[in-house]
């Protein structure tokens, strides 16, 4: 019997896109469109893929009818047999489906190690390890929203946006349950506004300022950036302003503006509710979770400053208030503790 090694195992899955409950594009139709795109001919594409010509034409017509738009432009060419090309919409479809397929393929590699780590492969024999298979996964939107509202104090549109933003951020990073032990301090979230959505993001992700996994940037933008510290991947998600007007499309029965936004944001697709961008984030050593890596003493007041937040002006090391960056100002001298 051949020796079985870890690298011999692979987790496989199939991805397809459905429209109104019917398959629209999968591996076969993707290969078909790619072949047309590369060869410039439906006949040549049929030969290269092994898909019969009539079946390929039928698949194209079926897709165009379903989506209500042209995907392939075919034209006659006399003795050369004509040709074909993808419309811009079809080219975008191919590019997007290739990306999502690669995403799931990469995610499968991670999941193989994550979910099947309870199998150890040694000398060609499979034996169980002491590690149990992790069964944790992210809770449903309704459950997460309920928990967030309980913590926040009231239900509002900002709570809905924050919960959905956090769920999307975790999915993009390949994190099923951000509160699971294996993801402890493996994710950092930057929030850019001190409003309701921030409380929801904190509730869903479990990231806290006290754990140094939640960072606040005072930009006044309803946005957050989710960073996977293990892979370095990061995504910035911004709540779109257009979603306010789109809410009535998804909650047409609601006449109250507040309720309409609340229900509309629950139903609205991610691509209309958010702008999503993959980004890079510079993470200084002093901003990472864990104990303080640096201490400095202010030369003026003697206060200890942690995590590299001191200011150096000339030869002086100062805390930020002494350096003129304080948000407060004294109105009396120091108060004796006995008087408090």
Please provide the DSSP assignment of 180-213 as one string.
Answer: SGGGTTSEEEEE---SHHHHHHHHHH---TTTT-
pLDDT at site 8: 66
Residue 76, pLDDT above cutoff 60: yes
Residue 151, pLDDT above cutoff 60: yes
Bridge partner list, 228: 187
| Packing angle, helices 42-49 and 27-39, rounded to 10 | 130
Secondary element (H or E) of residue 91: helix 88-115
Q: For residue 141, how many other CB atoms are within 10 A of its CB?
A: 14
Mean pLDDT is highest, among 9-18, 112-121, 314-323, for 314-323
From residue 279, how far is each of 78, 142, 174, 232, 263 by CA, in Å? Answer: 49, 29, 16, 10, 30
Mean pLDDT is highest, among 44-58, 61-75, 190-204, 274-288, for 190-204
* Contact by Cβ (8 Å): 242, 272: yes
Residue 193, pLDDT above cutoff 90: yes
Residues 128-142 have a mean pLDDT of: 60
Residues 231-250 have a mean pLDDT of: 93
Residues 190-208 have a mean pLDDT of: 97
Say what the pTM is.
0.60
The string over 254-272, giving b where at least 16 C-beta atoms fall within 10 Å of a residue's C-beta and e elsewhere, is beeeeebbbbbbbebeeeb
Q: Which of 29-33, 51-55, 112-116, 179-183 is least confident? A: 112-116
Confidence of residue 101 (pLDDT cuts 50, 70, 90): confident
The chain-wide mean pLDDT, for the chain, equals 86
Which residue pairs, CB below 8 angstroms and at least 24 apart, start in 35-43? 36/72, 36/84, 36/85, 36/86, 37/85, 37/86, 37/90, 37/91, 37/94, 40/83, 40/84, 40/85, 41/81, 41/82, 41/83, 41/84, 42/72, 42/74, 42/84, 43/81
Residue 123, pLDDT above cutoff 50: no
pLDDT at site 121: 44
From residue 67, how far is each of 12, 26, 87, 118, 290 by CA, in Å? Answer: 29, 15, 13, 45, 51
pLDDT at site 124: 42
pLDDT at site 183: 84
What domains can be seen in the chain, in order of their start residue?
1-135 (1.10.10.10), 141-287 (3.30.1330.130), 295-339 (no CATH)
Measured between alpha carbons, how far is 74 from 83 in angstroms, rounded to an integer? 6
pLDDT at site 340: 53
pLDDT at site 330: 86
| Packing angle, helices 42-49 and 53-67, rounded to 10 | 110
Give the chain's count of helices (H) and strands (E).
10, 15
Quick: pLDDT tens for 200-240. Answer: 999 999 999 999 999 999 999 999 999 999 999 999 999 99
pLDDT at site 303: 96
Percent of the chain predicted with pLDDT > 90: 57
Percent of the chain predicted with pLDDT > 70: 83
Quick: pLDDT tens for 8-53. Answer: 666 677 788 988 888 899 989 999 999 999 988 999 999 988 889 9
């Amino acid at each position: 019997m051949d020796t079985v090694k870890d690298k011999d195992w692979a987790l496989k899955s199939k991805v397809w896109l459905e429209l109104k409950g019917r398959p629209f594009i999968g591996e076969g139709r993707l290969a078909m469109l790619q072949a047309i795109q590369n060869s410039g001919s439906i006949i040549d594409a049929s030969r290269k893929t092994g898909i019969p010509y009539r079946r390929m034409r039928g698949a194209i017509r079926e897709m165009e009818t379903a989506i209500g738009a042209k995907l392939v432009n075919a034209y006659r060419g006399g003795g050369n047999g004509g040709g074909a090309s993808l419309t811009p919409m079809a080219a975008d479809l191919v590019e997007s489906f290739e990306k999502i397929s690669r995403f799931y393929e990469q995610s499968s590699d991670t999941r193989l190690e994550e979910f099947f780590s309870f199998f150890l492969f040694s000398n060609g024999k499979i034996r169980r390890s002491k590690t149990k298979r992790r069964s944790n996964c992210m809770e449903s939107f309704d459950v997460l929203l309920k928990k967030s509202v309980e913590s926040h104090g009231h239900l509002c549109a900002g709570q809905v946006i924050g919960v959905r933003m956090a769920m999307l951020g975790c999915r993009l990073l390949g994190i099923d349950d951000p509160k699971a032990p294996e993801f402890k301090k493996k994710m950092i979230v930057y929030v850019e506004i001190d409003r309701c959505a921030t409380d929801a993001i904190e509730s869903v992700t479990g990231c806290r300022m006290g754990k140094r996994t939640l960072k606040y940037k005072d930009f006044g933008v309803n946005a957050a950036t989710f960073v996977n510290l293990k892979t370095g991947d990061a995504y910035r998600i911004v709540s779109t302003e257009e979603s306010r007007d789109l809410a009535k499309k998804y909650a047409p029965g609601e006449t109250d503006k507040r309720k309409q936004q609340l229900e509309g944001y629950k139903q609205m697709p991610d691509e209309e509710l958010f702008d999503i961008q993959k980004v890079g984030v510079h993470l200084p050593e002093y901003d990472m979770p864990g104990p303080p890596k640096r201490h400095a003493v202010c030369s003026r007041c003697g206060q200890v400053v942690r995590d590299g937040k001191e200011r150096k002006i000339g030869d002086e090391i100062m805390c930020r208030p002494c350096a003129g960056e304080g948000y407060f100002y004294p109105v009396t001298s120091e108060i004796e503790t006995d008087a408090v």
